[in-house]
A and B are shown apart, each in its own frame.
Chain A
Amino acid sequence: MYRTTDILTNTPNTSLGEAGYMVINVGPQHPATHGVLHLVITLSGETIINVEPHLGYIHRSIEKMCESLTYRQFIYTTSRMDYLSSHINNHCCALSVEKGLQIEIPDRAKYIRIILDELTRLASHQLWWGAMAMDIGAITPFFYAFREREMINDIMEETCGARLTMNYMVPGGVMYDLHPNFQKKVKEFIAFFKSKINEYDEILTGNIIFQNRMKGVGIISKEDAISYGCTGPTARGSGVSCDVRKLYPYEIYSSIEFDEIINNGCDSFARYEVRMQEMKQSLKIIEQLIDNIPEGDFQAKTKTVLKLPKGEFYTRVETARGEFGVYIVSEGGTTPYRIKFRSPGLSNLSALNHMAKGNKIGDLVAIMGSIDLVIPDIDR
């Protein structure tokens, strides 16, 4: 019943008994892997020769399951895939169904969706910051990050009903109207967080130990990042301009003022800096929108049973980790014929081997923290 150590015989990149090489396992149960990721690392002393991820420990067969769910039902599965950007994933699914049915959603719904998206992005980056610092050894930022994250969770819970996996987006708009306290609470949060983000920089960004651990570690060049299919802050830290909100704007992003953060550092510290600046940009977007939410309907009228016409549709959004895509192939029925979720994590993870070669094993944790992996997103 126990899996025998077939790992040593299945690594084609090393030959057994080669002088000085040692093969060790990290995970699947490990505090620093952010989920169930099994890495088989070949080491020569403390230097990494090869990192091979073994996936599938949380493969919940979502794509097969979605073939038997209707177009209103399959949205909840994406909440559970990348659970830290659950609103953004749901948003993508709702957009794809609306694209197929060619529904126009009311402006109020668009504003609400974008504000919740950016709050989710903030919450995800806060948790990333706390968890990455904890992995590297600094335990205190974890509690600071969760203090802020709990404020966002409270706002979400009042409006959407849940703290983590909110199924608030539906094809046609959002499920309920905003809570009357929403605007006031968001404004309080923005005022509070603006002072805290400088605190984050004081604690961690300027810390000389942290900088020594992150600078020069995990380098990936611009061409390699594109070839590996990296998106999101992982690619923007290497100079690739790939923000879906700027390149293929959806909803009202084309009329909002914000910057795309690109950093040419190519190492872990550059990716860290990109995410810190992205938090500031998210605050800027929310500030522009929170006072101007138009009145009106929060949901467009749609039929009870949704049937997409025959064809295929690809929709993409920018989650906290990169580009998330939903590819629906429909045969005209009430359930999709085939759904493929293009997850940002799988492409970002495939660059891990390239980034980690030649570094020490202690740097592997810093690299994984800077890529910001969420394993259920990779395994689906």
Chain B
Amino acid sequence: MNENETITQPEIFPGVVHPTAGGGILVSSIDDVVNWARSNSLWPLVFGTSCCAIEMMSTASAKYDWSRFGFEVARATPRQADVIIIAGTIVNKMAPVLKRLYDQMADPKWVIAMGACATSGGPFFYNTYSVVKGADHVIPVDVYIAGCPPRPEALLHALITLQQKIKSGLTREQIRSGV
């Protein structure tokens, strides 16, 4: 919300609104604090289907530690997770499972598609009958990582990009339309 916008009331609104001087600054500062807190403690969901899961495990272990960035606690249950890192190929049989996991996560939630298979089907694009050509056919994705498998540093770069995206406070549609 911009500080300069005036608040228009609908007719049935009971009472009178007194615009306070400086009220918009207070709310947007709280927004910033909330976004900072959210981005610095994202808890990923343990979801690795194939080879990229090993690089995700490498990122979690001591050499390329991701808990420096706040991703320490990798939860196994979607109810307690914030971000789902789709590491691996999604096939037709797994797609309803992925959708169900995504629905079970509480808002606000984000999605990272790791690797070529989750981005677009990857090396299994041509002549396969059972591969979903890209995880974004199933759930909306925020960050895509290229590579087969991507290096742990690439995954860390994607996590930092996601943190910057959350701190900016913009929605997916706003980013797409170039705000």
CB-defined contacts of A76 to chain B, threshold 8 Å: 123
Partner-binding segment picked from A53-61, A106-114, A181-189, A286-294: A53-61
Q: Does A28 sit within 8 A of B, measured CB to CB?
A: yes
CB-defined contacts of A83 to chain B, threshold 8 Å: 50-51, 54
User: What 0/1 pattern do residues 45 to 70 of A give for CB contact below 8 A with B?
Assistant: 00000000000111111101101100
Query: B residues 97-154 with Cβ under 8 Å of A?
Result: 97, 99-101, 123-124, 126-131, 148-149, 151
CB-defined contacts of B128 to chain A, threshold 8 Å: 60-61, 64-65
Residue of A nearest to B76 (CB): A31
Residue of B nearest to A131 (CB): B57
Residue pair B54, A60 in contact (C-beta under 8 Å) = no
Residue of A nearest to B84 (CB): A29
- Sorting the interface of chain B by its residue count into under 10, 10 to 19, 20 to 34 or 35 or more gives 35 or more
Residue of A nearest to B121 (CB): A60
CB-defined contacts of B168 to chain A, threshold 8 Å: none
CB-defined contacts of B70 to chain A, threshold 8 Å: none
> How far, in whole Å, are A163 and B128 apart by their CA atoms in the complex?
26
CB-defined contacts of B12 to chain A, threshold 8 Å: none
Q: Does A3 sit within 8 A of B, measured CB to CB?
A: yes
Query: A residues 106-148 with Cβ under 8 Å of B?
Result: 127, 131, 142-143, 146-147
CB-defined contacts of B148 to chain A, threshold 8 Å: 165
Contact A77-B123, Cβ < 8 Å, known A58-B49, A58-B94, A376-B51: yes
> How far, in whole Å, are A358 and B46 apart by their CA atoms in the complex?
30
Q: Does B62 sit within 8 A of A, measured CB to CB?
A: yes
Contacting residue for A1 out of B62, B91, B99, B126, CB 8 A: B99
Residue pair A35, B62 in contact (C-beta under 8 Å) = no
Residue pair A31, B96 in contact (C-beta under 8 Å) = no
Residue pair A143, B61 in contact (C-beta under 8 Å) = yes
Q: Does B68 sit within 8 A of A, measured CB to CB?
A: no
Residue pair B93, A56 in contact (C-beta under 8 Å) = yes
Contacting residue for A146 out of B61, B93, B149, CB 8 A: B61
State the total of A-B contacts with C-beta under 8 angstroms. 103
Q: Does B47 sit within 8 A of A, measured CB to CB?
A: yes
Residue pair A65, B149 in contact (C-beta under 8 Å) = no
Residues of A in contact, count (CB < 8 Å): 39
CB-defined contacts of B94 to chain A, threshold 8 Å: 28, 36, 57-58
CB-defined contacts of B88 to chain A, threshold 8 Å: 58
Residue of B nearest to A30 (CB): B76
Residue pair A127, B54 in contact (C-beta under 8 Å) = yes
Residue pair A29, B97 in contact (C-beta under 8 Å) = yes
Residue of A nearest to B52 (CB): A164
Residue pair B127, A64 in contact (C-beta under 8 Å) = yes
CB-defined contacts of B80 to chain A, threshold 8 Å: none
> How far, in whole Å, are A29 and B148 apart by their CA atoms in the complex?
22
Contacting residue for B63 out of A2, A58, A146, CB 8 A: A146
> How far, in whole Å, are A62 and B96 apart by their CA atoms in the complex?
22
CB-defined contacts of A1 to chain B, threshold 8 Å: 96, 99
Contact A59-B130, Cβ < 8 Å, known A29-B47, A163-B151: yes
Closest chain B CB from A211 CB (angstroms): 26
Q: A31-B76, A56-B91, A77-B123 are in contact. List 19 more A-B contacts (CB 8 A).
A: A1-B96, A3-B96, A3-B97, A29-B46, A31-B46, A57-B91, A58-B94, A59-B91, A60-B89, A60-B131, A62-B124, A68-B126, A68-B127, A143-B61, A143-B62, A146-B57, A164-B55, A376-B50, A376-B51
Residues of A whose CB lies within 8 Å of any CB of B are 1-3, 28-31, 35-36, 56-62, 64-65, 67-68, 76-77, 80, 83-84, 127, 131, 142-143, 146-147, 149-150, 153, 163-165, 375-376
The 9 lowest CB-CB distance pairs between A and B, nearest first, are A146-B61, A83-B51, A61-B128, A57-B94, A31-B76, A376-B50, A150-B63, A68-B127, A61-B130
Q: Could you list 27 A-B pairs, sorted by A, with CB under 8 Å?
A: A1-B96, A2-B100, A28-B94, A28-B97, A29-B46, A31-B76, A57-B94, A57-B97, A58-B94, A59-B130, A60-B89, A60-B128, A61-B127, A61-B128, A61-B129, A65-B127, A80-B50, A80-B51, A83-B54, A142-B61, A143-B62, A146-B57, A146-B63, A150-B58, A150-B63, A164-B55, A376-B49
